[in-house]
Amino acid sequence: MTDQQVQNKIKTEEYFINMGPQHPAAHGVLRLILTIDGEIIKNVEPDLGYIHRSIEKMCERDSYQQIVHLTDRMDYLSSHINNEAVCLTVEKGLEIEVSDRVKVIRTIIAELTRIASHCLWWGVMGMDLGALTTYFYAFRDREMINDIFEETCGARLTMNYNIPGGLMFDIHPNFVKRTKDFITHFKTKIPEYNLLLTDNVIFHKRTKGVGIITKEDAISFGVSGPVARGSGFSSDVRKHHPYSAYDRVDFKEILFTEGDTFARYQVRMMELWESVSIIEQLIDNIPEGETKTATKAVIKLPKGEFYQRVETARGELGVYINSTGNKNPYRVKFRSPGFSNLSILNHISKDVMIADLVATMASFDFVIPDIDR
């Protein structure tokens, strides 16, 4: 038999395989039902709900102050930014203007949160692709941010530092110094990250040209955050709908047009520099002022609909509150970035290898509670 005849005789057939719910590359309990032919993926069907707690239903039962604490548990790596989103929505409904001090502190902590989240993503992205060292580098630096958070608000991950009307309490006296020390330290570490992973040839081969999203698809699938910006879709909420102190700082929206896994990687790496720059512009000029604007003990939003969006580390988080004037909201909807980003996964994973799906998912930076809510 010739080689061609041998090849024709080898047949494969399609079958189902479960990737997850306990798969290391999913970073949580996400189940993907793959239809595969050999090692080629034909279809990806996500099955969600393993960590679904129906936060939206719980919100209908709780007061506005209580809702803030539930949002920590969605995207736990952006917990401060989630809290901020709800607080901004409630403040919009009550027509409260918080002081400049609150705005600046919120922005600094939000950017520290973004750095911490991107650090964790960078560590596990390397790990997913077989480079374990990145994990230790990233966690060493992320630890410093968590220590700063712990000193100021008592928690390292689910911070609960925001309340409607301001902050729970003022920053710790050490906050400014420790943040500056961290920034000085971290600026020497980003080049190390690049040396270790960004310029690695194996890493390039695993990521370049893999999982390409076109700009049109990104818009149609409602993709946001670094995933959208890797495809050239300008979607940064901080630029288009500035909130807190983002209108008074100078930063670039990072855009790449390739749309592949490596482009998404580069967006996040360059966003680290932008976050560092935002913090540097604000940290020496924290205005004096109140850290709380008094609200009534029982907050009642006026009748109406309120929508506020913020840019978390993963993309656009929208909070929709429908109020009938009671102390509980009538309906709360969280438009989570992870859920919309996940919707494009099947579209870009057809006819690729399973290993490429792992690389693509790593570049999406999924946090499963954010998808499931």
The residue among 267, 262, 251 whose CA lies nearest residue 208 is 262
Helix (H) or strand (E) holding 266: helix 261-283
Contacting another protein (CB under 8 A), which of 69, 156, 248, 335?
A: 335
Q: Residue 103 phi/psi, 5° resolution? A: -60, -45
What is the closest distance, in whole angstroms, from the C-beta atom of residue 274 to another protein in the complex? 21
Among residues 217, 253, 258, 290, the one that binds another protein under rule CB under 8 A? 217
The minimum distance between CB 343 and another protein, in angstroms, equals: 4
Question: Least distance (Å) from another protein to the CB of residue 223?
Answer: 8
Beta carbon of residue 78, minimum distance to another protein (angstroms, whole number):
18
8 Å CB contact between 257 and 232: yes
Q: 28, 29, 56, 212: which one contacts another protein (CB under 8 A)?
A: 56
What is the Cα 319 distance to its own chain's centre? 15
Output the furthest CA–CA distance in the chain (Å, rounded). 85
Q: Which of residues 253-312 bind another protein (CB under 8 A)?
A: 302-307, 309
Residue of 53, 291, 77 whose CA lies nearest to 171: 291
Contact predicate 237/85, CB 8 Å: no
Measured CA to CA, the distance from residue 144 to residue 184 in angstroms comes to 12
Please choose, out of 17-25, 42-50, 127-135, 249-257, the segment that lies near another protein by the rule CB under 8 A: 42-50
Any contact of residue 331 with another protein (CB under 8 A)? yes
Binding mask 73-112 for another protein (x = CB under 8 A): ----------------------------------------
Strands 162-163, 316-323: pairing kind: unpaired
Exactly one of 233, 251, 265, 364 binds another protein (CB under 8 A); that residue is 233
Query: Residue written as tokens 């950017």?
Result: 111
Q: CA 256, CA 227: separation in Å to the nearest integer?
A: 10
54 binds another protein (CB under 8 A): yes
- In the complex, the residues that contact another protein under the rule CB under 8 A are 47-49, 52, 54, 56-57, 61, 217, 219-224, 233-235, 240, 302-307, 309, 316, 318, 320, 322, 331, 333, 335, 339-340, 342-344, 347, 372
